[in-house]
Amino acid sequence: MKILITGFSGFVSQYFLEYLNQVEPNATVLGVARTKPNFDFAQFDKLHIQFESLDLLDKLAVEKIITEFQPEYILHLAAISSVAQSWQNPFESFTSNINIFLNIVEPIRLQKVHCKILSVGSSEEYGAVDEALLPLTEEHLTKPLNPYAAARVSQEMLSKIYADGYDVNIVMTRTFNHIGARQKDKFVIASFAKQLVAFSKNNATSNKIITGDVSIVRDFLDVRDVVEAYYLLLKKGVKGEVYNICSGKGIELKNVIDMLSNILNIKVKIEQNPLLVRPLENKKIIGSYDKIKNQLGWQPNISLQASLQDIVSYWKNELQ
């Protein structure tokens, strides 16, 4: 396997490398990102890893990388992936995500590189839905409610055009909220866990966590399950098809805080800050993974409880 990974310094990439190290010994990996990863390549002892510092908005630089490396696979993880950030800077969120994608697929098209691309999307594409329609299948219409989601829908539409119109081998995902140790605390579960671990270390008598809307329901799954799905889709996913990557279960954010509190054996008071409530919010999102299960045999294996325990352990170590 000869694979190019964008967003190489990010949260998901390291887990994908861990999985690849188990299942694809001697794979050649070229990782690209603006900043060098803070993990040691030596831990992936069965892989041949190279890294290039690269701005994916630099069209000529991306073209040069693809021409020289000639990847068999591309795992496209790079994105401005924060919904909150997209509300703060919608122009950057939308244009950067789309232009990065085009900078990658255009050299593949023009040079006729024999390469399979996994275009990673988001459950945010679905927007607000009637609860009667849950769990969501891939047939459900997309109705993005924030700039990040709009960019993801646009990327998916372009992927379909390149797959159907230009015969580029692209497979797409709508990946639901994935969590795990090492995730940055700008994401909701990591943020909750970090704050609660800090409370537990300080032995405070009154622990107050400031949140947005904790009544919303999300479908969380472990990042280790996600990277297994990504690998299977790269190897066996059908060109031009989109696949949900999800747990098939929903939980209120308030209940996640309760689970974290129980793991740490502390009591927490929740206080909602109106400034943290998004202008438009998808109240309840739960997906169906029947399509990828039926076609490729994938299903999530790691429980939410196990994921949260790992996240708590990570933050305990980080906050020492």
Structural domains of the chain in order of their starting residue, each with its CATH number:
2-179+220-248+288-301 (3.40.50.720), 188-217+250-286+305-318 (3.90.25.10)
Q: Above 80 in pLDDT, residue 205?
A: no
pTM of the full structure:
0.95
**pLDDT tens-place string over residues 263-300:** 999 999 998 887 777 777 778 999 999 999 999 999 99
Mean confidence (pLDDT) of the chain:
94
DSSP β-bridge partners for residue 74: 4, 117
Q: How confident is the model at residue 185 (pLDDT cuts 50, 70, 90)?
A: very high
Nearest CA-CA partner of 176 in 234, 251, 114: 251
Q: What is the pLDDT of residues 242-271, one digit of tens each?
A: 999 999 999 999 999 999 999 999 999 998
Per-residue pLDDT tens for 39-62?
999 999 999 999 999 999 999 999
Cis check for the bond before 90: say yes or no (omega within 30 of 0): no
pLDDT > 70? residue 204: no
- CA 55/CA 103 separation, integer angstroms: 11
The C-alpha atoms of residue 110 and residue 164 are separated, in whole angstroms, by 15
